[in-house]
Amino acid sequence: QLQLQESGPGLVKPSETLSLTCTVSGGSINGDSYYWGWIRQPPGKGLEWIGSMYYSGSTHYNPSLKSRVTISVDTSKNQFSLKLSSVTAADTAVYYCASPYPVPTGNWFDPWGQGTLVTVSS
Amino acid sequence: EIVLTQSPATLSLSPGERATLSCRASQSFGSFLAWYQQKPGQAPRLLIYDAFNRATGIPARFSGSGSGTDFTLTISSLEPEDFAVYYCLQRSNWPPLFTFGPGTKVDIK
């Protein structure tokens, strides 16, 4: 059964770069042309898609975050990572990584990791 | 950019009642829509994809319908474990960009 686990600092200072890693177990990040994703949720608020990555490394980002986001993959470690630069308090959120749920038309995201809270504060 | 609106924001019902949740898009995008359930402290779970297909292991009381700009998630008879927040998620064809709706909370009346 596929499982995902987010890891990284829980506290980041304003203007610095948030860095998280998603480790995948129970399956390989290599494979078909499906995309893995990062999604976030500010405390008490709704979900926001951050970006997606194919195992080959090609990416698509939320236009509202595109200038600050980088998603990358390390297939040797079965991991993919998120970097968000120039963070502010508005970037405080639970960050989730999610695996592809492939369907004939493309893919959705399921299952997700348990999420990790990142707080931006000095 | 497509904007999703979900209504109502909160739905107060009793176990056994029927729940009807709406997701409306600012422009038509076909049937690339999914529904997720999120319980407190948990990650979201995929319920419905491509507007009306149930994900693996999802009970038959959950059903999805709609296309274009108007989509509906129906829970035919609420079980105690169904009280949660429900989000719709839209996907553009290419490039594959995603947008979540703001969510509908289904709580116990």
Looking at chain A, which residue has its C-alpha nearest residue B98? A49
- Both tokens of B73, joined, read 């998630």
As a dihedral over the C-alpha atoms of residue A121, residue A22, residue A47, residue B105, rounded to 10 degrees, the angle is: -110
Which of A4, A5, A33, A105 should we substitute to test contact with B (largest number of B Cβ atoms within 10 Å)?
A: A105
CA of A111 vs chain B CAs: smallest distance (Å): 7
Residue B80 phi, psi dihedral angles, 5° rounding = -55, -35
pLDDT in tens, B69-101: 999 999 999 999 999 999 999 999 888 899 999
Contact B32, A105 (CB under 8 A): yes
Beta-carbon separation of A108 and B49 below 8 A? yes
Q: What is the pLDDT of residues A37-49, one digit of tens each?
A: 999 999 999 999 9
Judge whether residue B14 has pLDDT over 80. Answer: yes
pLDDT in tens, A83-94: 999 999 999 999
Chain B neighbors of A35, CB-CB under 8 A: 96
Query: How does the average pLDDT of chain B come out, rounded?
Result: 96
Confidence tier at A32 by pLDDT (50, 70, 90): low
Q: Is A92 on the interface with B (CB under 8 A)?
A: no
Instruction: Indicate the residue of A46, A113, A115 with minimum beta-carbon distance to B100.
Output: A46
